[in-house]
Amino acid sequence: MADQVSGYGKKPLWQWILIYVVVGGIIYFLIYYFVLAPKGGYSKSGGGDYNYGNTK
């Protein structure tokens, strides 16, 4: 059975989808790591005087 050639060249469509998913995941990770993560999350420094509902 011959491989179907689409507008993407000689690679099958599933390989292009896999490439897009991997590259998209890397870009998402980089944006999260450098843009979103420094604004929030947990930190080991910063006091520690938290009020968790204990009003004694």
**For all residues of the chain together, what is the average pLDDT?**
76
DSSP letters spanning the chain: -PPP-BTTBSS-HHHHHHHHHHHHHHHHHHHIIIIIGGGSS--S-S-----SS---
Is the per-residue pLDDT at 25 higher than 90? yes
Q: What is the pLDDT of residue 6?
A: 58
Percent of the chain with pLDDT over 90: 32
- Residue of 1 and 12 predicted with greater confidence: 12
Is the per-residue pLDDT at 15 higher than 70? yes
Looking at the whole model, is its pTM more than 0.75?
no
